Amino acid sequence: MKQIHLFIPLFFLLLTGACRQQEQTSETTASNTTSDTTATPPPAPDWAKNATIYEVNTRQFSAEGNFKAVEAQLPRLKELGVDIIWLMPIFPISQKNKKGTLGSPYAVADYKAVNPAYGTMTEFKDFVKRAHALGLHVILDWVPNHTGWDHVWTKQHPDWYTRVNGKLTAPVDPKTGKPTDWTDVVDLNYDNPDMRQGMIDAMQFWLREADIDGFRCDVAGFVPNDFWAELRPELDKIKTVFMLAEWEDEPDQFKSCFNMNYGWSMHTMLKAIAQGARTADKLDSLRLVSQKRFPDWYYQMFFTQNHDENTWNGTLNESFGPAADACFVLCSTLEGMPLVYNGMESNLNKRLAFFEKDSIAWGNYDKTDFYKALLTLKHRNTALWNGRAGGKLNKVSTDHDRQVYAFYRQRDSDRVVVIVNLSNQPLDFQLNGTDYEGMYTDVFMHEPVTLKPDMAMSLKPWEYRVLTN
């Protein structure tokens, strides 16, 4: 029977309202943890070194809600500066105990089939081929911890599931040790080696049959880390994959399997700064914690929206208000990979329903130039590349460090300077030091800018400057 291992995640999603406790815990962890610089990172495809990522909710992406409608937009996404297309789960949805009219994509009924509402397997394969022809890469949202109640395994392999008092059970939240409220899914038993092999086989299926490029793994911390170590070489036998963990609280996942994990704590901190609950200088202590906890090759996915945030916690405007663009500038230029959630380039201003049909109203794509400027910069300037391929962040101090966050990143001869007013007040301030001096181009205004030692600057509330040489 599956053993439930309890631990307290350091930066769990539900800590959004507890930033002060988060900072205190982070500082303690930083003082007692040192990143491992001797271990070997998992393999990574070469294209990941400067990649950006875009999440697609196939059901809501279009009125049609199918693969063909997403495929039609791939050239536009390529032009936007996207590299990785992350598709929310595309599998048939379990009907037993489903939520709402259509059910959750995360209640999978068959790991080796596609949801007929989205199209056929042939149409999905055509989607992947078209993406590859454009130089894009496709990763599937994989749900390894649990299945829907009528997944084919529940009849074929009932011993592959966790049972409590002889009955199937919902997953247990490792933070509380209590069952989750995910009543539409049942927990898989990772103590069963046959189940593990079945999971590996199912994931290999998509590499062989559809030539996908990797996986985003749902609640990756609910699954034992030794499974990820077992899985990774089996996937790489077919092709070198890109692996994203929806988790932040298990540093060893970077050694066992994953190339990138969720930057939940950065999201929480940026939201707190946008809402006036934290100040800009707190970003430094948070970055220090991550550097202490994770191996030196790590990088995280940084975001202001994703499907969970948008549906359950608020739209971009609800969560970040006028600070939204400034916070995404940081997501794009700090030491991580930026995520664009579908619709953001068209000012998505509603919470998309999770269990019902609720199409994005695309409008005129009036944020395209903003996102394109940042995603294109990441491609071209090696200072912003991911992990060891990019440049380390060097803080530029000011006389308003509680409101202004300024830094530069440099790799070889490439340099990017970022200066952001993270407050709702106009500021006159001075950049201290000299390391940043030089001639640059403003990536948004396309104007030359000269930075001089100890120079004075002014920024409006939430205004930013992104400069490249």
Per-residue model confidence as pLDDT tens digits over 278-320: 999 999 999 999 999 999 999 999 999 999 999 999 999 999 9
pLDDT tens string 16-41 = 333 444 444 443 344 344 455 568 99
Spatial strand order in the sheet of 393-395: 393-395, 404-411, 414-421, 464-468, 438-442, 448-451
pLDDT at 1 over 60: no
Q: CA 396: distance to chain centroid? A: 27
For 401-410, the pLDDT digits (tens) are 999 999 999 9
The Cα-based distances of 15 to 9, 10, 12, 274, 309 in angstroms read 10, 9, 6, 16, 13
**Does residue 207 contact residue 239 with C-beta atoms inside 8 Å?**
yes
pLDDT value at 59 more than 90 = yes
Q: What residues contact 417, with CB distance under 8 A and at least 6 apart?
A: 396, 406, 407, 408, 436, 440, 451, 465, 466, 467, 468
* pLDDT for 300: 98
CATH fold, domain 13-390, is TIM Barrel (3.20.20)
**Contact in structure between 362 and 395 (CB atoms under 8 Å):** no
Q: Are 190 and 223 in contact (CB under 8 A)?
A: yes
pLDDT at 104 over 90: yes
Helix, strand, coil shares, percent, the chain, to 5: 35, 20, 45
- How would residue 415 be classed by pLDDT, with cut points 50, 70 and 90? very high
What are 188's strand-pairing partners? 161
Average pLDDT rounded to a whole number, residues 47-59: 98
Under 8 Å between Cβ of 361 and 67:
no
The pLDDT score that the predictor gives to residue 19 is 42
**Sign of the Cα pseudo-torsion (185, 350, 77, 263, in order):** negative
Q: Which of 371, 299, 369 is nearest to 341 (CA)?
A: 371
- Which pLDDT score, from 0 to 100, does residue 174 have? 81
- Given this model, what pLDDT does residue 173 score? 85
Q: Residue 178: its pLDDT value, please?
A: 86
Over range 349-363, report the average pLDDT. Answer: 97
If you average pLDDT over residues 350-379, what whole number do you get? 97
Residues whose CB is less than 8 angstroms from the CB of residue 57 and which lie 6 or more positions away in sequence, other chains included: 88, 307, 342, 352
pLDDT, mean of residues 243-260: 98
Give the closest residue to 307 by CA, choosing from 141, 147, 103, 72. 141
12 has pLDDT over 50: no
| 3-class state of residue 87 by DSSP | strand
Quote the crossing angle between the two packed helices 193-210 and 225-236, to the nearest 10°.
40
Q: Where are the domains of the chain?
A: 13-390, 404-468
Mean pLDDT rounded to a whole number for the chain: 93
Q: Could you check whether 13-390 and 404-468 share the same CATH topology?
A: no
The answer to whether residue 84 scores a pLDDT higher than 60 is yes
CATH architecture of 404-468: Sandwich (2.60)
Read off the pLDDT of residues 416-469 as tens digits, 9 standing for 90 and up. 999 999 999 999 999 999 999 999 999 999 999 999 999 999 999 999 999 999
Q: Which one-letter amino acid corresponds to residue 66?
A: N
What's the rounded Cα separation, in Å, for the pair 143 and 247? 13
CA distance 156 to 153: 5
Q: Which residue has the tokens 């495929």?
A: 71
pLDDT at 35: 52
Backbone angles phi, psi at 383, to 5 degrees: -60, -30
Q: Which residues of 391-411 are buried (b: 16+ CB within 10 A; e: fewer)?
A: bebeebebebbebbbbbbbbb
**Measured at the alpha carbon of residue 372, what is the angle toward residues 366 and 377, in degrees to the nearest 5?**
155
Our CA angle for 223, 236, 335, nearest 5°, is 70
